[in-house]
Structure 1
Amino acid sequence: MSSSPRNPPFRAEHIGSLLRPEELVKHRYAVADKSATPESLVPVEQKAIKDVVKLQQDCGIQSITNGEYSRHQFWGTFFETLNGMEEINLRESGYDQSIFRAYAPDVKSFMHAKTIPNSVTVANGKISHTGKSSFLPELEYMKSVLPKDQWKNIKLTLTSPSWYHFRYAPNKAYTKGVYANDDEYFADVAKAYQTELKILYDAGLRNGQIDDPNLAYFCSDAMLEGWKNDPENFQTADEQFDAYLKFYNACIERPSDFHMGIHLCRGNYVGSKHFSEGAYDRIASKMFNNLNVSTYYLEYDTPRAGGFEPLKYLPKDKNVVVGVVTSKFPELEDKKEMVDRVYKAADYIAEGSKCSREEALQRLSVSPQCGFASHAEGNALGYEDMRKKLQLVRAIADEVWAGQP
């Protein structure tokens, strides 16, 4: 079997979102309430991106993102800009909250906190790509601040294909009459996703990462119980999971030199909240073997994510990035303990692959467990706390993989 791709992923990784400076957050809200113009945001945003690129470089991080500073939330605006999609939360008449799965972990948290999710986007017409990428400006600006020999290191976070499907009740991701079933909906989303990836690839992107809490929700006992008890469901949770894997694979067909990873966590909301709990054991074998990505960025900072045992299913041609350093709180982990955890993860990979620890380590990297600011306000820690966390990740990597980027 072929070996796993490398560089990317690098030994010291991070998930993508970084704490935004207060000036940027305030200015974006000022644009939203029309007390500032969109044009006035551009220099503020660009300066913040330049600063955060330097932060990553200073911390020895090779996989460079823009901190998601061009977005209000981690998933960006891919779906919102497709033909056929409508942000129905912006309708004057609003919408019926019964369209949601009440037991979907993020919906459950949103409803508890403030009665509605942040964005409510559904298909009210046939979905197609406009030909204009909402992510391309992010990539082009990153290319302008990095030398050409580093463009291949730029990592761009991509929207989960199921982001505006999982949260909705069966057949509610699209209005009545638009699609006859999920297969038709998935097919059009996949075509749009393929167009997006081609635009980004042609512009030089070689390192993509899907941020996807949805698949990890299938590890949650509470979610699975809600699914089982929902009379509207026309398939089991296992069948839905399988359908998603097939759907994702159709979305992310790509050239062999386009590295694609996927990050699975249990939610990362304002004030360092998480949405769900549950070990990867339930989904690991299917996820590792049936999903066409090269790298899995997994949350492993607390017991809510379970143990490393599922890593036994990792194929020899794939990588895993273990997120053992929390991005939610400022307390700094003990480096030796984290190094020991990386070795423990390697031992499970070695057991499953019947290889040595040293060979297993070649398929491993280390990172924070999630982003530092999936949403604008960010987690419950400060900018210098974040710097120390990134430096710790680099130090762990240097201890385990001396001399490797």
Structure 2
Amino acid sequence: MSSKLHQRPPFRAEHLGSLLRPQPLLDVRHKIDGGQAGLEKDLNAVEDNSVKEIVKEQLDLGFHAVSDGEYRRHMFWGTFFPGLDGFEEIQNPDIDIFRMYVPDIAAFTESGHKPGETVICTGKIKHVGSTYVDQWNYLKNLLPKERQGEAKLTLAAPNWYHLRYKTGRAYPKSVYSSDAEYFADIAAAYRAELKILYDNGLRNVQIDDPNLACSELIKADFCSEKMLKGFKDNNEDSDALLDAYIKLYNDCLSSRPSDMHVGVHLCRGNFVGGRHFSEGGYDAIATKLFHNLNVQTYYLEYDTARSGGFEPLKEVPAHKNVILGLVTSKFPKLEDLEEMKKKVYQAADLVAQGSGQTKEEALNRLGVSPQCGFASHSDGNNVGKEDMVRKLQLVRKLADEIWPGEP
């Protein structure tokens, strides 16, 4: 079977970037978080060694979209925004600045947590140097040259520090007079970052966005009653907000070279203890999401019924790919291989119906993965290292049975 996915990203067997941190790395991080000073060199050495080990493990498991496990990050969104001029990371922020009904904020507060830090805009935004390139260069240099273009780096969503804040609180009015002005500088910063990464050999980008699929709620009860009510109470047009975010994405990606693969991971969240952010299908936003967002691949969550059915996949255009997140990363119970194979074929049927392709042609645009990372937060979820390995082995086996001989 010939395949668009065979020689370049995305691949048949994928994972979503974040992997469980080894205990020595967590131990050093916890000491630093607890206030112990002078451990920066120790942390760097442990990170280097941990990345080496997890890269080897991924290769041994047969994965091509190798990541560094996000081992140099505390949370999945990494260090991009704090590294820009015009942004400042603050500790113990005033809870009043947040949209309390936005999924990632609600996940914190409903679990008895308060956001311990956030990043706020304090001045004119400008890219002043890459915060990802050192992570990328270390990763790529652990791989043979012919495999470096397969490796994957995960990036923060460009709308991350906009949706979580109340209207008018994402930036000072003295700096930006409108969302359009603010978004223009965010997009310019992303273009600068992507150029640096591309010049250093990165060809496989995944943008993580738990909130994009929750931006349009007026037409349907989509993510949660709380978020739906929040937008209505504040007289906010979520349809226009989704359009603005799609335009922001497209502006961020407008100058990327044709051989840089970009996918977006749209999940329901993966908080500590397996707590998800939101639920519902992709139905309400499928047309805009799949047709208007200029990415090649969608990494979608389909591990439980809370993610809805495959019907929205009818909207996926014939030139785009879907990675089906069928294996949960939140709990250790192993999924049934035959049941997952049935789901892949069900999805292929609907992709074929919508695009006018044959089932085989539609299947050529699919792959499989866990539904989310195993450690979006550095402390991970309710799975252990052996559980994670079994899950990844299952993803690889599922892919091998449906697409034998393909990466």
* TM-score, L = length of structure 1: 0.95
User: Contact between 1:5 and 1:318, CA under 8 Å: does it hold in 2?
Assistant: no
Which one of 176, 181, 185 corresponds to residue 182 of structure 2? 185
Which structure 1 residue ranges, 5 or more long, are not aligned?
none
Q: 2:349 aligns with which of 343, 347, 350?
A: 347
Distance across 2 between alignment mates of 1:404 and 1:95: 48
Say if 2:5 and 2:364, in contact at 8 Å, map to a contact too.
Answer: no
Q: How does 1:133-144 map to 2 (within 5 A)?
A: 133-144=130-141
Give how far 1:29 is off.
Answer: 2.2
Q: How far off its partner does 1:170 sit?
A: 0.6
Q: Confirm whether residue 225 of structure 1 aligns to residue 247 of structure 2.
A: no
Q: Secondary structure at the match of 2:300?
A: strand
Q: Distance in 2 between matches of 1:113 and 1:388?
A: 29
Asked if structure 2 preserves the Cα contact closer than 8 Å seen for 1:4 and 1:317, the reply is no
Q: Is the 8 A contact 2:89 2:117 kept in 1?
A: yes
Classify the secondary structure of the residue corresponding to 1:88. strand
Task: Give the equivalent residue in structure 1 for 2:331.
Answer: 329
Q: Work out which of the residue numbers 63, 72, 88 in structure 2 matches 1:70.
A: 72
One of 117, 122, 125 as aligned partner of 2:123: 125
Task: Determine if contact 1:155/1:207 at 8 Å carries over to the other structure.
Answer: yes
Offset at 1:214? 1.0
Per-residue displacement from partner, 1:212-254 (whole Å, max 9, x unpaired)? 00112233142552243333x5x41111001100011001221
Mapped contact 1:78–1:159 kept (Cα < 8 A): yes
Quote the residue 1:8 is aligned against.
Answer: 9
The answer (yes or no) to whether the contact 1:4–1:316 under 8 Å persists in 2 is no
Q: Percent identity?
A: 55
Question: Are the aligned partners of 2:5 and 2:12 in contact in 1 as well (CA < 8 Å)?
Answer: no
Question: 1:243 is matched with which residue?
Answer: 244
State how far apart, in whole Å, the 2-side matches of 1:390 and 1:182 are. Answer: 41
Instruction: Please list, as runs of the form range in 1=range in 2, the aligned pairs for 1:163-202 lying within 5 A after superposition.
Output: 163-202=160-199
Secondary structure at the counterpart of residue 145 of structure 1? coil
CA RMSD of aligned residues (A): 1.4
- Could you tell me how far apart the structure 2 residues matched to 1:205 and 1:18 are? 20
Match of 2:292 in 1: 290
The answer to whether the 8 Å contact 1:346/1:361 transfers is yes
How far apart in 2 are the matches of 1:181 and 1:88? 23
Residue 187 of structure 1: how far off its partner (Å): 0.4
Equivalent residue letter for 2:73: R
Between the aligned partners of 1:380 and 1:216, the Cα distance in structure 2 is 25
| Alpha-carbon distance between aligned partners in 2 of 1:292 and 1:164, rounded to the nearest angstrom | 21
Query: Over residues 175-215 of structure 1, what are the superposed CA-to-partner deviations in whole Å (9 max), with x where a residue is unaligned?
Result: 23121111111000000111000000000000000000011
In structure 1, distance between residues paired with 2:230 and 2:263? 27
For the 8 Å contact 1:4–1:318, the answer to whether it is kept is: no
For 1:171, give the aligned amino acid: G
2:204 to 195, 198, 207: 207
Q: Please list, as runs of the form range in 1=range in 2, the aligned pairs for 1:5-404 lying within 5 A after superposition.
A: 7-32=8-33, 33-89=35-91, 95-130=93-128, 132-218=129-215, 219-231=222-234, 233=235, 235-253=236-254, 254-404=256-406
Give distance in 2, aligned partners of 1:114 and 1:174: 27
Moved more, 171-180 or 248-257: 171-180
What's 2:219 paired with?
none
Q: TM-score, normalised by structure 2?
A: 0.94
Give the counterpart letter for 1:347 in structure 2.
D
5+ long unaligned stretches in structure 2? 216-221
Aligned residues: 396
- Rounded to whole Å, the distance in 2 between the matches of 1:390 and 1:41 is 27
Deviation at 1:275, TM superposition (A): 1.1
By how many angstroms is 1:102 displaced? Answer: 1.1
Q: Distance in 2 between matches of 1:223 and 1:10?
A: 37
